[in-house]
Homo-oligomer: A and B are copies of this chain.
Amino acid sequence: MFGFDINKRGTPQGEVKVPESLGIVVGIVFLIVAIIFQFFNFTEDSVWLVEYNAALASICFMILLGFVDDVLDVPWRVKLLLPSFATLPLLMAYAGHTTIVIPKPLVSYVGLEILDLGRIYKLYMALLAVFCTNSINIHAGLNGLEIGQTVVIAAAILIHNVMQIGASVDSEIRQAHAFSIYLTQPLMATSLAMLAFNWYPSAVFVGDTYTVFAGMTMAVVGILGHFSETLLIFFLPQVLNFLLSLPQLAGIVKCPRHRLPKFDPATGLLTGTKDGTLVNVYLRIFGRKSEKSLCIHLLVFQALACAFCFLLRHFLAGWYK
């Protein structure tokens, strides 16, 4: 399986066949590593084993559906719902708490400090998985952007986990963050390896297999590590991209098959189109850029969002929760 690089159309590089869906390799290596990890990280009577295996089943199911999508080109409205199937093992096996802590400024209005959402919490989990998976998938289209954003967010998750383990004395919280590290670390490692080949100019494409796999893994660690709010702030550029895409996704504005910027073969620069994606809006605001420089800009923006999240947590700690 192969594809052509649309952002290089009109240059000799645009004629090169690029292998597609290499995300399957990343996914399979990740699974094997993550499976073997549990031998070292858990004892046989650990209560975390159910959730770890459910997480593996969810991620594996997501990789399977992503690869099917790559091979068979599933219609995109169906595609949006695939993560909700993949998240089923997690929802079914999830036996953790279903409570949320009401932010302190709101306690007097709600009248409760802790609210048990019950099954609605599981719905929230499913929606989070659908969002993370699809938001990575639609913030794409530049060489290295899919993997780059994953690497940046995964690094932020790892830093957050280590900080929380250091700061917390509650063993349950420490275990939850350790659990997150066990899954994020192989994601980081396999992604970095693939980034070497996917960076501009891409020798391989990763396909939907990779984006849905990465999104699902991060959603899973966010859910089971109980830091989904923090995760959503790490996902700030993806949230922005999703909001910008809403008019086209909802069908109010016409949505073409690809919503890539316009490539000028003479100068090698990209120009933003009217399509509502962060890539295009960024180009419209900050002017024309080469593909590589645009990708670096967007990754720096991603890193700034993560830094903003850490600052926010620092200043709100104590006041907010």
Query: Could you tell me which A residues sit within 8 Å of B by CB distance?
Result: 1, 24, 27-28, 31-32, 35-36, 38-39, 44-45, 49-50, 53-54, 56-57, 60-61, 63-65, 67-68, 71-72, 85, 88-89, 92-93, 95
Contacts and interface: CB of A to CB of B under 8 A. Distances in A.
Contacts of A92: 35-36, 38-39
Which residue, of A36, A85, A92, has the highest number of chain B Cβ atoms within 10 A? A92
A132 to B, nearest CB: 20
* Number of identical protomers: 2
Contact of A61 (B31, B36, B49, B71): B31
Nearest to A1: B71
Contacts of A60: 57, 60-61, 64
Contacts of A28: 64-65, 68, 85
A166 B39 CA distance: 36
Given A35-B92, A56-B57, A60-B61, 9 more contacts: A32-B85, A35-B88, A50-B50, A53-B53, A53-B54, A53-B89, A56-B89, A67-B68, A71-B71
A53 B63 contact: no
15 contacts: A28-B65, A28-B68, A28-B85, A35-B57, A38-B93, A39-B92, A45-B95, A49-B93, A50-B53, A53-B93, A56-B89, A57-B89, A60-B60, A60-B64, A63-B64
Contacts of A32: 85, 88
Contacts of A35: 57, 88-89, 92
A68 B49 CA distance: 28
A125 to B, nearest CB: 14
Nearest to A48: B50
Which residue, of A31, A44, A57, has the highest number of chain B Cβ atoms within 10 A? A57
A32 B68 CA distance: 15
A64 B29 CA distance: 13
A220 to B, nearest CB: 13
A160 to B, nearest CB: 26
Which residue, of A38, A60, A63, A71, has the highest number of chain B Cβ atoms within 10 A? A60
A77 to B, nearest CB: 18
Contacts of A61: 31, 60
Contact of A67 (B53, B64, B89, B93): B64
A212 B89 CA distance: 21
Which residue, of A1, A53, A65, has the highest number of chain B Cβ atoms within 10 A? A53
Nearest to A94: B44
A45 B50 CA distance: 10
A36 B93 CA distance: 10
A276 to B, nearest CB: 32
Nearest to A53: B53
B95 A44 contact: yes
A93 B65 CA distance: 24
A57 B50 CA distance: 11
A28 B64 CA distance: 9
